[in-house]
Amino acid sequence: MSASPPAAAPSYAAVLRFPHARRTFGAALLGRLSNGTAPLSLLLSVKESTGSYATAGTAMAAFGLVSVVLSPVRASLVDRYGPGRALPPLVLLYAALLGVLAAACARPGVPGVVLVALSGALGTATPPLGPVVRALWSRLFTDRDLLRRAYSLDTVAEELLFVSGPLVVGLVLLVAAPPAGLVLSAALILTGGLFFASSPPVRSVPGAQAAPAAGSAARGRFPRGLGSAVAGAAALGLCLGAVELLVVAFSDAAGRPGLAAWTLSALSAGSAVGGLLLGAVPWRGSLAGPLAGRLALLGLALGAVLGATGFAPHPYVLVAGVALGGLFVAPVLTTAYLLADESVAAERRTRAGAWVNTAFNAGSTAATAGAGLLVGRLPLPLCFVLAALAPVLAGLAGVLAALRRRGGSVAGASEEGEGALGGAAEAGVRKGGFEDVPGQRVAERAEALDAGEADPPVGVSGR
């Protein structure tokens, strides 16, 4: 399962032509759709049950916070025992808790504190399908171009799932009460999650107990590349979490509140296009270099575009600017996942991907709260600039680190070359001659020929 399928020019079709890829990826998408339907269903269900937006917001915060904080823990269980063994219990527990929460919300008179506690408990069992899928791509595809396409396809699909999830909940609400959305979420994760966990590629992945240790990553250290990936994802989350709220404030200030939805849709559309381009285009120049440098450059571009967008003179210009900035969203996240993947041993890839995902979600949540405090106190253009500061600073730090590493590599190679040459020369002097110098061997050969102690060279015609 470790060899890539033969393909002269890797494409998105080549990714899906791999044995079991369509079944495995499709099942994962079905299960991950619950990540788009469950949060909104939870919020609406608790609100309808208690009649309190404050309680609903607290329940949503409890679910999100616990889910984000424990994400690396759940991923470590997958790495330790293998996804085929670790995922089914998590899927069953998560689906059961969704059912319990739906029943509690549908029953009148349940205290709000109970619903908040159930929401927090739900967050403990969120199955890490996304990190598992990305770790699985790395196991299946050894060709880096094909792996980049697989990651790009996965990131774009995830983006579309989070956009379509609320739409699915809206359709459910046309015929049923909000708790039905929780039941639907349970059905999605139960069907997709178990089908995914039973697929041959997933069942073939061993746990860390059966896998050999490999280098520092296996000993629990936090590799430099993973740190860069986590920092880049956190900066992206900080930027987007703030921009989403600032777009609403901009639209309200312009007297067109309905334009906010179109603007955020433009952001998602731009992200999807950018993600597909990242996987389809053979990169040249700086973007074809090390992933850490590519992540830094993409972050700089994202921050520059979204920072300038706050100065838009018209809401339609805002839509265009946000769409342009969206072109860099999926590429930044995809590159962060790729960098995390190549920075750790195979048995730690799920955990590495979960760290990137956790950093993005934590950054987004913190930035949304922070932006809410700044709106109304600072001019909106300045708020956009502050939102863009995180990816710009992370990008600059990445560029400087890459330049330092490149300079250190050149200096190290120069010193190593000089040391090797000097060492060889010194060894030759100690032995009484430069026995490793080709010119000296030629001279010795000529002397032997003159003395008749060696045979003359044999002539070779042509090449």
pLDDT by residue (tens digit) across 113-155? Answer: 999 999 999 999 999 998 899 888 888 888 877 888 888 888 8
Does residue 458 carry a pLDDT above 80?
no
Query: Exposed, middle or buried, 175 (CB in 10 Å: 0-12/13-18/19+)?
Result: exposed
pLDDT of residue 459: 38
Q: Which helix (H) or strand (E) holds 320?
A: helix 315-326
Q: pLDDT band at residue 412, thresholds of 50, 70 and 90?
A: low
The torsion angles phi and psi of 76, rounded to 5 degrees, stand at -65, -35
Higher pLDDT, 63 or 406: 63
Full set of structural domains in the chain with CATH: 17-209 (1.20.1250.20), 225-416 (1.20.1250.20), 417-450 (no CATH)
Instruction: Measure the CA–CA gap between 213 and 344, rounded to whole angstroms.
Output: 11
Query: Exposed, middle or buried, 407 (CB in 10 Å: 0-12/13-18/19+)?
Result: exposed
Instruction: Measure the CA–CA gap between 205 and 253, rounded to whole angstroms.
Output: 53
Identify the CA nearest to 193 among candidates 435, 26, 418. 26
- What single-letter amino acid sits at 318? L
Tell me how far CA of residue 305 lies from CA of 24, 110, 249, 308, 386, in angstroms: 37, 48, 18, 5, 13
Phi-psi region of 417 (alpha: psi -120 to 50; beta: other; left: phi over 0): alpha
pLDDT of residue 124: 94
Q: Enumerate residues 6+ apart whose C-beta is below 8 A from 248.
A: 257, 260
Q: What is the mean pLDDT of the chain?
A: 80
pTM for the model: 0.73
Give me the mean pLDDT over the 81-101 stretch. Answer: 95
Lowest pLDDT segment from 37-51, 197-211, 242-256, 300-314: 197-211
Identify the CA nearest to 139 among candidates 246, 21, 49. 21
Q: Enumerate residues 6+ apart whose C-beta is below 8 A from 204.
A: 1, 84
- What single-letter amino acid sits at 46? V
The torsion angles phi and psi of 103, rounded to 5 degrees, stand at -65, -40
Does residue 284 carry a pLDDT above 90?
no
pLDDT of residue 450: 45
Per-residue tokens: 13: 């079709």
Instruction: Measure the CA–CA gap between 178 and 49, rounded to whole angstroms.
Output: 9
Tell me how far CA of residue 261 lies from CA of 265, 266, 302, in angstroms: 6, 9, 20
The string of DSSP codes covering 211-272 is: SPP-HHHHTT---HHHHHHHHHHHHHHHHHHHHHHHHHHHHHHTT-TTHHHHHHHHHHHHHH
Per-residue tokens: 114: 């109970």
Distance of CA 388 to the CA centre of its chain: 19
Q: What is the pLDDT of residues 356-398, one digit of tens each?
A: 988 998 888 888 778 878 888 889 999 999 999 999 999 998 8
